[in-house]
Amino acid sequence: MSPTAAQGAELRQDGAVFEPPFDMETLTRPDLLTTSLGIVVEDWNPKRLVGSLPLEGSRQYYGFLHGGASAALVETLGSLAAVLEAGTGGMVLGQELSVTHHRAARGSGSVTGICTPLFVGTSVATYEVAVHDQRDRRIATGRITCQLRRRSVRGPDSEKKG
């Protein structure tokens, strides 16, 4: 499932883009870490968001996938799933990130992250991201918790209480 273009997306002075759903043009701006690392979201289902990260350009000095690159993949997928959950006009704030590295990813190609929700409440969501190599071996497991700030919908007759 591919998202539609973000119609009416606003660009704030700090460069942040909001108003999901995001499109690939939004996610591939040259100033974003996702672009620098080559992260590509392949499946936009908020119950199972899938993305990949190329090994080329993401290695540490021993030649294995850098742990920080794995963490960036986990952060990206979990945050995007939370953005989809928060909805149009909502905001997501990262609260906690942890990544356990099980084995080294080597060679060429890419790793794939599969993000699934562990808990989704009204103001907080926690996701697990399983990162697999091309031989489908789990190389890392990440967990991310985000605060959800959903946009409140006020009717025309609503008044602020003060």
Query: Which residues contact residue 49 at a Cβ distance below 8 angstroms, ignoring those fewer than 6 apart?
Result: 41, 43, 77, 80, 81, 84, 114, 115
103 φ, ψ to 5°? -155, 165
Instruction: Exactly one of 75, 85, 128, 159 is catalytic; name it.
Output: 75
Query: What is the rounded distance in angstroms from the CA atom of residue 65 to the CA atom of residue 59?
Result: 4
3-class secondary structure, 86: helix
Contact yes or no for 54/110 (Cβ under 8 A): yes
Active site residue 75: yes
Residues designated as active site: 75
